[in-house]
Amino acid sequence: MDNKVAFNFKLYYFFRFMGQGFFYPFLVLYLNHKGIAGGQLGLLMMMLPFGKLLLSPVSGYLSDLYRVHKQVLIGSVFVTFAGASYLFFTAPTFPVYFLSILIITLGEVSVDSLINTLAIDYLSRSDRQTDFGRWRLWGALGFMVGSFFLGLFELDLTLNLVPLLFAGTNLISFIVAFTLPKASARKPTDWLGGIKLVTQNRSFLLLLIGVVLSGLSFNIVFTYYSVYMRGIGASSWLIGLGVAMQTIVEIILSANTKNITERFSLRRIYLLGFALLPVRSLLYIINRSPFIGLMIQNLHGFYIFSAFIIGIIVLDLNLKPEWRSTGQSYYYSAFGGFGATIGALIAPMIFDAQGISVLYTFALVVAFAGFLLIQRATLKLIPKSEALLQSISK
């Protein structure tokens, strides 16, 4: 494996996720700061997940079919940069916010699945898929740096810079993306194979339904974390620290992916994060201390590691290599598309009518239902993955 290629992947992950650390945890506060609330806020927050729901599977499918993963990735990152720049430099009106978020949505729909496809594809050439965690952890580091840096300052002063910082990090990622290797040139022989991933694999379909519910719960808790912390009296720096610290657990686990998968069953590792998701909501409901709230947020890292490090490895071991991007786009669309869209529609109404405690109670119930479905789906998926993983390790 080329060390320079590995470094470029890590560099890309670092700056892309640094931008997400600047943008997503503070987006609700940013829009509130600009006077956007209620139905307008719900509409803007719905656009990103709704775009992923509609466009991510299409983008992944076409990228696999025509083997243009790198080209689409480069174009997507640039579109995100353009949308964030427009948001910062133009007049603060609702039509401007709507158009800016729409442009950002078009850029964001497939970047996560595409970069993971390129990384897993490259690693699989030498049967080193478990190294994916060590690459992906640089994204967690970047996210931590971005969110912590912004939280160091008074948010009322720094919120205006959120779009600019997001644009800058995406510009760097755009440049780095040119240095990444292309996906393998092996084209699918059956152009309907991407659809058959779901129609002919009931366990995968059940898994996706569970991920929809999990994504709904996760996105509610994640989006309203800064609102929750302010509601219990947390200062700006403490909110930023909580968002930054949530990645520490993810970093530690990701750095030891290979050792963890060799010591513990793949199914147990995968289910752990989903099992902790309703527990996390429950702890938030009963907690009123900002410092304890900061500690609870560390459970975030277990979920991200389970769902998006171990989960991506499980998908790769279960799906045909030529349909990697399509399978991942279904997974990301279930999580950040269907689940997050439903959350964006329902969450503002529940929050405005009943408050944060009822909203997090709803998130708890949905997360538990998602866990039950995923637990059942993995009864068939995970044993197959473990057998393949053991053969690769040998």
What percent of the chain shows pLDDT beyond 70? 94
Distance, in Å, from the CA atom of 146 to the CA atom of 167, rounded to the nearest integer, reads 13
How many domains does one find in the chain? 1
How many CB atoms lie under 10 A from the CB of residue 2?
9
Count other C-beta atoms under 10 Å from residue 53's C-beta: 21
Task: Give residue 99's pLDDT.
Answer: 93
Q: How many residues would you count in the chain?
A: 394
Question: So what's the pLDDT on residue 359?
Answer: 93
Give the range of the structural domain holding residue 176, as residue numbers without chain letter: 3-185+193-393
The dihedral through the CA atoms of 388, 192, 76, 39 has a sign that is negative
Say what the pLDDT of residue 341 is.
79
CA dihedral 375, 376, 382, 384 (to 10 degrees): 180
pLDDT tens, position by position, 59-74 = 888 898 888 999 999 9
Share of the chain above pLDDT 90, in %: 34
Whole-angstrom Cα distance, residue 16 to residue 171? 9
Between the two ends of the chain, the Cα-to-Cα distance in Å is: 18
Tokens representing residue 269 in the block: 């590792």
Radius of gyration, CA atoms only, the chain: 20
Look up the CATH number of the domain holding residue 131: 1.20.1250.20
| Model pLDDT, residue 271 | 93
Virtual torsion, Cα 157, 161, 162, 163, nearest 10 deg: 150
What confidence category does residue 272 fall into, taking pLDDT thresholds of 50, 70 and 90?
Answer: very high
Q: Give the Cα separation of 102 and 284 in Å (integer).
A: 32
Encoding tokens for residue 361? 């109670």
- The Cα–Cα gap between 334 and 280 comes to 21
Nearest C-alpha neighbor of 226 from the set 142, 308, 162, 306 = 162
Degrees to nearest 5, angle at CA 176 with 48 and 121: 80
pLDDT digits (tens, 9 = 90+) for 329-363: 899 888 877 887 788 778 878 888 888 899 999 99
Helices 324-333, 311-318: inter-axial angle, 10-degree rounding:
140
